[in-house]
Chains A and B, each alone.
Chain A
Amino acid sequence: MPQSNKALRIVAANGEVALIVTLAVVIAVFSGLSEYFFTLRNLTNVLGQASIILLIATGVAVALIGGEVDLSVGSTVAAVAIPLIGIMNATGSLTLGIAGALALGLLIGAVNGYLSAYMRINSLIVTLGTLFLIRGGVYLYTGKRATADTAYLDSFFAIGNGRLFGILPYPAVIAGVVVIAVIWAMRHLRFGRRIYAAGGSAEVARLAGFDVARIKFACFIISALMATLASILLASRLGAAVHTAGDGYEFQAIAAVVLGGVSLAGGVGNILGVVLGVLILAFVSNGLGMINAPTEWQLVITGLVIIAAVALDSLKKRWR
């Protein structure tokens, strides 16, 4: 079909082939090293585990493509779980709990977006500030204690722990659907193209008549909402709002996003690449665990993979 041909060409042109090959090599190597690695159960497990970082990374990627950084996502994961669990415990309603989580997520996104897009304060600083602010707020509010889910809703338990047809974990299904929607929106909606334009050159976008501030504001909302979704899945897997949850996820997400080929300079990148970046790091982490490699090696190898990926990418651009 011509359409699939076109799709193939887009993939090749964006350098995602290298990522797919890397992923295949990672899976092949660990399959050889551990008999438990290439099993349906383990592969689906990893998809479920990766879905939390996948959602966060997708949001961070949208912001980066729009020319902005969001470092507050890890703290947001911890914060929005508090109204989720609190309201659910009080009312016994999952819907109301999720509504509460989304409301707080929106508020965080709006604060980040207002300060960065409208007050024009550097978003790296704004979100570094809100990273501390939100985490500190969570500690103060909870007294550094986890809030247990005492509503015991089966539906809530299933979101993070159940499996579709008994095979595919629900977090993977939910993240998959959401991320595909984002990929589609970034490619085919006018709004998606405006995000690329605003991130590529705010000046040009402004001259083209776009409301750049509004576009960037929306990027922070998207990023916060993705972190909120991730938080809901994680809270279900943990059965609690854990005050330390999500600590350092901003670094993990940025690593995956950059590995996936999104430029830190804005305007360049592809969410499909981000998906591959997340999966590569998730399978490396899982595989190293499978062969009983200690944490220190996981950290060293992840660091090397990131430097290698980014160096290759920028060197490739220079040679071209």
Chain B
Amino acid sequence: MASTETHDTPGLFRRVMESEHGFLALVLIVLVVGLGLATDRFLTGSNAVAILHQSSLVLIVAVGMTLLLITAEVDISVGASLAFASCIVMATINATGSIALGALAGVAFGAGIGLINALVTTVLRVNSLIGTIAMMMMLNGGVYLFTREAVQNHHQLPLFPKIATGFIAGIPVPVLIAAVVAAVGWIALSRTRIGRLFLATGANPRATRLSGYSPERFKTVAFVVTGALVGLAAVVLASLLNAGQPTAGQGFELTVIAAVLLGGTSLMGGRGTVLGTILAVLILKVIDNGIILLRWNQDLQIIVPGIVLILALYMDQRKRGHHAG
């Protein structure tokens, strides 16, 4: 119901606060300005590159997770899958000497895990929160059945580490990869019919079914896309560490999910944007970076995202309450 206040011209502040991404953009700007004033080491080219570099891994997977949460499902196994896939990438490269085959194997592995998650959710009807926690446990265990040690770059291929550490036109390669993934996700979700169908599926699965589409199929696609993006992130991670790390990715799933939720995607499905996710990833990574630059206690890196997340949801709640009232 529209409130009486709609007769007034809303002030700029309120318009910003109430626009879909205005609030997040404002937070980001405040953080950047604040940190820029607090330390002269923040607003430098190399630090900007470092922040973008750090954001890219999370962003690649967060784009998939946005899609998945929109269909009202979640994947907790992305961190464990990331570690396992990074070992698959390195082991395949070691076996074949081909970086392309290694990357392909990593993406295929991730997508395969996504497919299993999808089947467990849609066919076995296991709640995806529980199903993917179980998958996380199995991958955590399974990776040590696959390799007991970090898989090293045995051929010492010099080109492989360049994927993560190389630059094209002054921009780090992982940032370009993440940008492409985010751009495709953004356009697909907000500018195409399929994107609207995804949102419709999450908002009202029954209506989707009645209009002749299967919500299960959308969920399956979202799981597989998320998995494949985990595989892609694993290629970057393996290249970054120049090794496959079975211990990597701990807590990665929580960072990704926190970013997606902070970006305004609803846990209940049906609502969310890639742009919100991009802003949220940047906010979290700027905070992380700021804590290190200001030489604050690094334990704050655990606390601050928790506070930011609750605050964001509180603001969201109030905003919706305002519209409803």
Name A's B-contacting residues (CB within 8 A). 115, 119-122, 124-126, 128-133, 135-137, 139-140, 144, 251, 254-255, 258, 264, 294-300, 302-304, 306-307, 310-311, 314-315, 318
Contact = CB atoms under 8 A, between A and B. Distances in A.
A125 B263 CA distance: 13
Given A129-B307, A300-B145, 13 more contacts: A121-B314, A129-B306, A130-B306, A132-B305, A133-B307, A254-B130, A264-B129, A296-B143, A300-B141, A307-B134, A310-B126, A314-B126, A315-B124
A160 B158 CA distance: 56
A7 B131 CA distance: 32
B126 A296 contact: no
B129 A140 contact: no
A295 B138 CA distance: 11
A296 B130 contact: no
A303 B145 contact: no
A119 B317 contact: yes
B180 interface: no
Contact of B306 (A119, A120, A136, A307): A136
Nearest to B123: A311
Interface residues of B, number: 39
Given A311-B120, A311-B124, A315-B125, A140 B137 contact: no
B127, B130, B140, B142 pick with most chain A CB within 10 angstroms: B130
Contacts, number: 125
Contacts of A310: 124, 126-127, 130-131
14 contacts: A119-B314, A121-B314, A130-B306, A132-B306, A136-B300, A136-B301, A140-B300, A144-B299, A297-B145, A307-B126, A307-B130, A310-B127, A311-B125, A311-B126
Contact of A131 (B127, B137, B306): B306
B141 A122 contact: no
A301 to B, nearest CB: 8
A318 B133 CA distance: 23
A264 B130 contact: yes
A306 B133 contact: yes
B124 A314 contact: yes
B68 interface: no
Q: Which of A133, A299, A304 has the most CB of B within 10 A?
A: A299
A102 to B, nearest CB: 24
B254 A121 contact: no
B134 A304 contact: yes
B307 A299 contact: no
A69 B307 CA distance: 18
B188 interface: no
Nearest to A298: B141
B138 A139 contact: no
Given A121-B313, A129-B310, A255 B145 contact: no
Nearest to B298: A139
Nearest to B76: A251
B135 interface: yes
